Amino acid sequence: MLDTVSWELPDGTSVREYSDNLVGQSGKLRIIDQTRLPSTLTYLELDELDAIIDAIKRLAVRGAPAIGCAAALGLAAVCRRFPADTPNDAFISQMRTTADRLATARPTAVNLTWALNRCVKTILKVSPSSTKTLRDILLEEALNILAEDIQLCRTIGQHGAELITPGMGILTHCNAGALATGDYGTALAPLYVAHEHGVKFTVFSDETRPLLQGARLTAWELARAGIEVLSICDNMAAQVMKEGRVQLVLVGADRIAANGDAANKIGTYGLAVLASFHRIPCYIAAPYSTFDFSLDNGSAIPIEQRDANEIRRCGNIQTVPDQAAVYNPAFDVTPADLISGFITNKGIIRQPYQQNLKSMVNHV
Amino acid sequence: MLDTVSWELPDGTSVREYSDNLVGQSGKLRIIDQTRLPSTLTYLELDELDAIIDAIKRLAVRGAPAIGCAAALGLAAVCRRFPADTPNDAFISQMRTTADRLATARPTAVNLTWALNRCVKTILKVSPSSTKTLRDILLEEALNILAEDIQLCRTIGQHGAELITPGMGILTHCNAGALATGDYGTALAPLYVAHEHGVKFTVFSDETRPLLQGARLTAWELARAGIEVLSICDNMAAQVMKEGRVQLVLVGADRIAANGDAANKIGTYGLAVLASFHRIPCYIAAPYSTFDFSLDNGSAIPIEQRDANEIRRCGNIQTVPDQAAVYNPAFDVTPADLISGFITNKGIIRQPYQQNLKSMVNHV
């Protein structure tokens, strides 16, 4: 896969189970600089705290699972640079400071703090008599986080691949792919698995205004993997459905309530309505961690309003005049009754969601 | 209004009934250079054939009615420059050459050839004993075309204004406004008339990818007129409908079949589906000339595919990678059963369309 977030051991052994071409310099976090896509594929190798924070802040790495992996590996990379004879107490103290600073890079990204807390807790639990050095344990835990994310992507992909049949047209929105995770992605994972099985299909990738993740990232990663992809503007989705070219809508989610209402990138709700009108199944792919059973339904999910300039300008051109206002919600909530099923690491979950989602999480 | 296309007589009298600030140099076609909007409002004053062709080609003036008016006034402006002692035969011959060249500027624009043919025919019918000069007759006919377009916009606006109630949210797509016509536009005409009557309402303007006519042009002209407008990305329309902020969808059309199926800018069909789902009325505004009774239904309307680069790039940035394909239909067809009514210069026409549209055109 893409090595969106990866690592290479000092002896040159790849630690990423499914990696194909890890060539990074030893001992550093390696990420794709997504801000340069789709024009240029550049890898950044980072082990300085400020550079890692900057990379997360400016969206060189984005997507909640990928941010979590990058933060954990970034923490390990920075702490590897502490002198080898650093006493354990000093190591722990400097590690905590580093983790606290990393956590500020994107305060709302749940996976960021979750991954950092997990790494810190692991070190705090280490017996002082341990023969392993703390920095190796820290790296091991960060690599566990990456490996688990890879595994989640793979199982989602395997379950979802059942839905992909030869000749199918699949419409997706935004980027819930390899660039957003440690591996295959969530919504795109079933496509990668089906592609590996030799199934031929066509993907329609909504460009996803205003930040164009679908055009810049999804079309790029699918084309690179040899999957047939057509980039369309968001307002063309209804037309390709009407033409009979779409048999499945497949998207990710940012948060899913106990009743199955799902928050995802703005435009998802409209797609679900259009899919329902055209009698096209609409599935959401997400790991167990995206389900938030503390929320009864989607009405409690806040809709973040983002900066007007994301819409007002594109590249070097002004698209909306200064005199006009801009409305820029980042997410919408799709009601559960428009969702045909959830593709999770525990299998595909269908109605009634209230009952079936809970029993899934109880088996995690 | 905007003076999208206008003219000033040599004595300084405005010939545009509703113009407020005609300041153009005498004897020239005057148009807004729409390629520079929304950043800069610039007027072009043109009486050279090549410059007029170029302005139409590069979309400095666009929108079928506006192109028709600009072509007719452009023909008059070029022919005014023929020497005053030009014999009638030579005048007619040079006028025909000029009209033929103007007609090539945008070969698919019906109003362009329609307006030029009408001007040429008028000159050919002139009695040789006429006391008026041919060039004055030519200008008179071009001004008639402009005046008729202004009148069509006004009557559409008056009929449609009945639908606009205080506090309403109205969603529109692309630009069927003052910048697309000689005056108030078609879809935007009811808004201008209601605004003149002091009715307060809010317009949601889809940005309309890929060419952003909604953001660049509709948001600009409405804001300039003092109408409250919010620019949104196309994929946000469903969300503002769900929030209960839209009570009316109002768009234009490029061609309407005998049964009411309507071709318009890509994205219109999806909006009509979303409006139907949210039980929001969806109206199409168009003059009698947009109805094509030679087509039984919309299936015969060809969907123009446009250049991939319109989607692949935005300003100075590449948005879709070279490796991915692009699908770029310029129009879609909305089936008649999703349309609540047609706002025409003959009044608002409702179902059954097969019967009511025909009787409208019989009274033209």
The complex scores an ipTM of 0.90
Task: Decide if A316 and B320 are in contact by the 8 Å CB cutoff.
Answer: no
CA distance B172 to chain A (A): 13
User: Do B147 and B195 reside in the same domain of the chain?
Assistant: no
Q: Where are the alpha helices (DSSP H) in chain A?
A: 49-57, 64-80, 88-103, 110-125, 134-160, 189-196, 213, 219-224, 237-242, 268-277, 309-312, 353-362
User: Do B59 and B105 reside in the same domain of the chain?
Assistant: yes
Task: Decide if B236 and A321 are in contact by the 8 Å CB cutoff.
Answer: no
What CATH number is attached to the domain comprising A18?
1.20.120.420
Task: Decide if A320 and B38 are in contact by the 8 Å CB cutoff.
Answer: yes
User: Do A314 and A175 reside in the same domain of the chain?
Assistant: yes
pTM of the model: 0.91
Residue with tokens 């309407």, as numbered in its chain: B256
User: Do A140 and A201 reside in the same domain of the chain?
Assistant: no
Q: Which of A154, A189, A215 is the last residue of a domain?
A: A154
Question: Whole-angstrom Cα distance, residue B160 to residue B250?
Answer: 10
Q: Which residues of B are catalytic?
A: 254
User: Hey, which residues 209-248 in chain A have their CB within 8 Å of chain B?
Assistant: 209-210, 212, 215-216, 219-220, 222-224, 228-240, 242
Q: Which of A154, A180, A200 is the last residue of a domain?
A: A154
Q: State the best of A188, A224, A233 to mutate against chain B, taking most chain B CBs within 10 Å.
A: A233
- Point out the residue among B223, B236, B276 whose CB comes nearest to the CB of A324: B223
Give the structural domain span for A196. 162-362
pLDDT digits (tens, 9 = 90+) for B136-193: 899 889 999 999 999 999 999 999 999 999 999 999 999 999 999 988 999 999 999 9
Is B328 an 8 Å CB contact of chain A? yes
Question: Whole-angstrom Cα distance, residue B48 to residue B79?
Answer: 9
- Point out the residue among A236, A325, A328 whose CB comes nearest to the CB of B229: A325
User: Do A286 and A338 reside in the same domain of the chain?
Assistant: yes
- Point out the residue among B220, B234, B322 whose CB comes nearest to the CB of A209: B234
User: Do A204 and A314 reside in the same domain of the chain?
Assistant: yes
Q: Which residues of A are catalytic?
A: 254
CA distance B174 to chain A (A): 11
User: Do A232 and A346 reside in the same domain of the chain?
Assistant: yes
- Point out the residue among B231, B242, B270 whose CB comes nearest to the CB of A274: B270
Tokens matching residue A88: 């354990």
Task: State the pairing for strand pair B255-257/B291-292.
Answer: parallel
Return per-residue pLDDT of chain A as tens, 364 residues.
677 877 765 544 444 432 322 223 467 899 999 999 999 999 999 999 999 999 999 989 998 899 999 999 999 999 989 988 889 999 999 999 999 999 999 867 778 999 999 999 999 998 765 656 898 899 889 999 999 999 999 999 999 999 999 999 999 999 999 999 988 999 999 999 999 999 999 999 999 999 999 999 999 999 999 999 999 999 999 999 999 999 999 999 999 999 999 999 999 999 999 999 999 999 999 998 889 999 999 998 888 888 999 999 988 889 999 999 999 999 999 999 999 999 999 999 999 999 999 888 776 5
Residue of B nearest to A329 (CA): B236
Domain count, chain B: 2
User: Do A233 and A326 reside in the same domain of the chain?
Assistant: yes
Q: Lowest mean pLDDT of A334-348, B59-73, B118-132, B316-330, name the range.
A: B118-132
Which residues in chain A have Cβ-Cβ distances shorter than 8 Å to B321?
A: 37-39, 216, 219-220, 223
User: Do B243 and B150 reside in the same domain of the chain?
Assistant: no
Angle, CA of B78, B79 and B84, to the nearest 5°: 130
Residue of B nearest to A212 (CA): B319
Q: Which of B105, B122, B154 is the last residue of a domain?
A: B154
